[in-house]
Amino acid sequence: MTASEQVLPGQIIPVDVDEVPAVELGPGVHVRMLPGMPGIRTWVIDLAPGAEWPGLDVHETYGEAYFVVRGELIEGDLAHGPGTYVAFGPGTSHRPRTETGVRAFGFNYDTPA
């Protein structure tokens, strides 16, 4: 099974996040895709200190959310530290960055709410 597959009914899939291969999306920005549920893509992002998402992340039809595990993720003028959950509804956009470095677990919703 690859980490980006869906978890099927009756399945329990433990995953060591650090064992999932990371894909570099831009300088200092790495994503690891995790098993998700139908309609939900699950991932972990790691941004190195001083890194910024490579472009504007637009959510035209469906939403996205993330939970900051460590470090600090900055959205515009707002800084989100460990324990913060941030949700973006359809019709939103953002470009996260960090000064400290950050790890966040995220969820893309591929079906309407």
61-99 pLDDT, tens per residue? 788 999 999 999 999 999 999 999 999 988 888 899 999
DSSP symbol at 19: G
* H/E element, 65: strand 64-71
Alpha helix locations (H) across 3-77? none
Give, in words, the CATH class of 44-113.
mainly beta
Q: How far apart are CA 84 and CA 112, in angstroms?
A: 24
Confidence tier at 1 by pLDDT (50, 70, 90): very low
Q: What is the pLDDT of residue 38?
A: 83
pTM above 0.85, yes or no: yes
Residue 104: is its pLDDT beyond 50?
yes
Residues in the chain: 113
